[in-house]
Amino acid sequence: MDKEAKPDTIYIKPPVLFVPSESVDVCTPAVEGAVAMIGEDEWFSIRSVDVVRQYERGYNVVITIDALGTDLPRFPELHYNGLETGGLSSLTLDPDGTFVVGEFIFATDCEDESQAAELVSGAELVVTEKLVRVEAKDIEVQSNVIALDVVSE
């Protein structure tokens, strides 16, 4: 395209939006192969449960999940020995905004790997809320360039 030429039309793809939904309180054993269910629907499966050393002291429990549904898990917790600990979550979406894989990281105060592994052996993964995908095809688009047409895909 010539540097002097200006486009006369811009095409805009609607964004992928996720909004909070009702609380779900899904409880799943924190073991490889376990499947989290919402009612009769499979939500995600646990690919792996790993114990990873932190920088100076203690260990993290890292749970990797594979998506079986479209909703995003929100506010993961690890329940063990009568304790509940919140975790960090990292969720991966494909280019179309579809949930693919996720990782939950829980810090523990375990001082050795065997203690952390024992902790995980009876633990449960609890997810208390979810985010639901919303189609944004009908959003209003405006342009402040008068001579430019804006077309939404």
CA dist 133 and 107 (Å) reads 29
Residue 65 amino acid letter: I
Q: Domains of the chain: which residue ranges? A: 17-134
Whole-prediction pTM = 0.80
pLDDT value at residue 123: 94
pLDDT value at residue 48: 97
SS (H, E, C) 70-124: CCEEEEEEEEECCEEEECEEEEEECCCCCEEEEEEEEECCCCCHHHHHHHHHCCE
CA dist 31 and 77 (Å) reads 14
pLDDT value at residue 30: 95
Query: C-alpha dihedral over 109, 57, 123, 128, to 10 degrees?
Result: 80
pLDDT value at residue 115: 86
Distances (CA, A) of 151 to 1, 12, 98, 143, 144: 20, 6, 24, 10, 14
pLDDT value at residue 106: 94
Classify domain 17-134 at the CATH topology level.
Immunoglobulin-like (2.60.40)
Task: Show pLDDT as tens, one digit a residue, over the chain (153 residues).
Answer: 566 777 777 767 777 788 898 778 899 999 999 999 998 999 999 999 999 988 777 899 999 999 999 899 999 999 998 889 999 999 999 988 889 999 999 998 888 888 888 888 889 999 999 999 887 665 565 556 566 566 665
> Token digits for 107?
């810090």
pLDDT value at residue 19: 87
Q: In 3-state terms, what secondary structure has residue 9?
A: strand
